[in-house]
């Protein structure tokens, strides 16, 4: 286990109940925004699988996955998996980063916080080809 994994595990164990509730609330709200208001075709069917808030709440790491039927494993010479329709996880991440301001503004309306964290997006490689347990 690497140092960063040990730190992440320790921070999850010490995370307060409020932080866990906020992470789940952000996940639910982001998924509903993806379903209803985001029109980018690169994000069709994308789901937020988990959200990790920093200790001070200034940033949030948002883990996402693409629909299982659209993903395939990386071919030799490729570093990331690609999807059948040509939307790679890096393309989807780019689309998420482009929509980050919009998503934050909508979260501001939906979540009763003074400050909404900066959103940083990561593809969740664990769920490639598996069903989304959080859907």
**For the segment 26-73, what is each residue's pLDDT rounded down to a tens digit?**
999 999 999 999 999 999 989 999 999 999 989 999 999 988 644 455
Asked, for residue 91, whether it belongs to a domain, the answer is: yes
Going by C-alpha positions, the residue among 93, 80, 84 that lies closest to residue 42 is 93
List the helix and strand counts (H, then E) for the chain. 3, 5
Asked, for residue 9, whether it belongs to a domain, the answer is: no
Chain-centre distance of CA 27, in angstroms? 8
Give me the percent of the chain exceeding a pLDDT of 70.
68
Domain count, the chain: 1
Quote the domain boundaries for residue 54.
17-127
Asked, for residue 8, whether it belongs to a domain, the answer is: no
Residues in contact with 31: Cβ distance below 8 Å, sequence separation at least 6, in sequence order = 47, 48, 135
Asked, for residue 26, whether it belongs to a domain, the answer is: yes
Asked, for residue 132, whether it belongs to a domain, the answer is: no
Asked, for residue 10, whether it belongs to a domain, the answer is: no
Please check the confidence at residue 104 and state whether its pLDDT lies above 70: yes
Give me the percent of the chain exceeding a pLDDT of 90.
52
pTM of this structure? 0.71
CATH label of the domain that carries residue 73: 3.30.300.20
Q: What is the mean pLDDT of the chain?
A: 80
- Split at pLDDT 50, 70, 90, the class of 3 is low
């Amino acid at each position: 286990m690497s140092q960063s994994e040990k730190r992440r595990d320790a921070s999850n164990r010490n995370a307060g109940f409020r932080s866990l509730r906020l992470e789940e609330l952000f996940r639910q709200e982001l998924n509903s925004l993806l379903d209803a208001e985001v029109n980018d075709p690169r994000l069709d069917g994308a789901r937020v699988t988990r959200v990790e808030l920093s200790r001070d709440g200034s940033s949030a790491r948002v883990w996402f996955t693409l629909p299982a039927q659209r993903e395939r494993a990386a071919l030799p010479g490729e570093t990331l998996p690609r999807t059948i329709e040509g939307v790679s996880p890096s393309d989807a991440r780019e689309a998420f980063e482009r929509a980050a301001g919009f998503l934050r503004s909508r979260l501001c309306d939906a979540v009763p916080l003074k400050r909404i964290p900066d959103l940083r997006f990561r593809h969740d490689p664990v769920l490639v080809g598996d069903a989304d347990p959080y859907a």
